[in-house]
Structure 1
Amino acid sequence: MLHVHCVHRFPLLLLWGSLLFGVVSSSPTPRKLFGEITSPNYPKPYPNNNISTWDITVPKGFVVKLDFWEFDLQPSESCLSDYVKITADKKDLGRYCGQLGSATGNHPGIRAFVSKGNWMRLMFHSDFSNEENGTLIPYKGFLAYYQAVDLDECAHDEGPLCQHLCHNSVGGYICSCRPGYQLQSDHHSCRGE
C-alpha cells in the first residue's frame, strides 16, 4: 500500500519565525500507487516563506518514479531562494528552481526521477519574496506526478538471488530450477534429483 504524507519539521526557532512571518501549508495525499503533488496554491502563485515536505513510500518491491509536468519557480544562482529538493535512497538527487529556458537556476526539464528503493522525499522551499528588480513576479510553482513502478529484482547487480533461474513478478520475484533439479525449502537454491 502506498503511503504518502506531508510533514513539516522545523527547529523551534524556525517554527516560531514561520508562524509569525510566514506560511506553512500541508495537504493530505491519498494512499495509492500513483498521485499528484503540487506546490501550495497551485496553479495560483505559491506563498512566500513556505516549507513543505512530502514523503512518498510505495510497497517493497516497487520504486518511486516522479515527473514534473509544470515547473515555474523563482530562478536564482545555485537555487538558494525558492527551490524543490529531491532525496531518495539517502542521496540528494538535486535542488531545482527556475523556468524552462531561464539563464539562472536549475530546471528539472523533462527528466524522470526514479528511486532505487521504495521511498522518495520532495521538499519545497520559498523565501521572503518573489521579486525581480523591484517587480513582483507571480510564479505558479509546480505540478508533479508520482507512481509506483515494479522493481526488477532479477536484474540487480548485487549477485544472484536465485541459484538457477530468476523470474520477476509484480512486487517480487520467483526462483526456479533447471530440469533435473528441485527447488529447496529456502526458495532460492536448487539440488539435483
Structure 2
Amino acid sequence: MKADRRRGIVALAAVAVTACSPPAPGGNDAVTERPAARPSAKSAPSTSAALPDTDDRVTSTERSSNSADAAGRVAGATIADKNAQESGGQDVAAAVAVTQAYFSAINRGDYRTAWHLWERDGAASGMSAADFAASFAKFVDYRADIGTPGRVDSGAGQRYVTVPVSVAATLRDGRPATLKGDVVLHRTAAIDGATAAQQRWHIYQSNLRPRPD
C-alpha cells in the first residue's frame, strides 16, 4: 500500500512539473506571437517633423515689411520731389505774371499801379509815386518782351527770381528806344510772421538801360 501511494505521488508530481514547464520552441502547443501592427498609411504625420522656425518666419516677415517701407519712402520721396518741382514752376509763373502786369500798367499810363508793384509799397523803386510817373511820361508807347525766367533762389526764408526783359518804346518826339536788362523779383516764404503781402512777388530791382537800336 505504501509503495503504491509513493508511486501515485511521484506520478502526480511529474504531471505538475510537466504542466508548469514552458512549451517547447516550435511545438504544436507553442503560442503563436501576433505580428506587430503596421502603421496605417493614413496615420497622422509625426509631431516630431521639422517645422519652420518661428524666429525665421518673423525675420522673413520683417524683411518684407522693411522692403515695403523702403519702397514707400522712395515713392514718397519721388512724389515729394515732383510736387516741389510743380510748386516751383507755379512760383516762377506767378513772378512772371507780376512782371507782365508791371509793364502793362506802364504802357497804358497807369503809373501808380506799376509803382505799387515795387517792394515796400513802391518805396523800393527809389522814387516817389510822382517822380516814378514823370520818368515814364516821356514815352507814348512802352512794350515789354518778357524772356525766360531763371530758377527761384531760396535762402533764409526768402525767394528771388530774375526775369530778363526787352522793351521796345517810342518817345513822344517819335524816336524809338530799346531797353534791355533784368528785373529781379522777391517775396518772403510762408514762414512765421510773414504777412500775406510779403509772401507775394514784388519787384526788388531793375537794371533796364537804354540800348542803341
User: TM class by shorter-chain length?
Assistant: under 0.3
TM-score, structure 1 normalization = 0.23
Write 1 or 2 for the structure with the bigger share of helix.
2
Task: Tell which structure's C-alpha radius of gyration is larger.
Answer: 2
TM-score, structure 2 normalization = 0.21
Write 1 or 2 for the structure with the bigger share of strand.
1
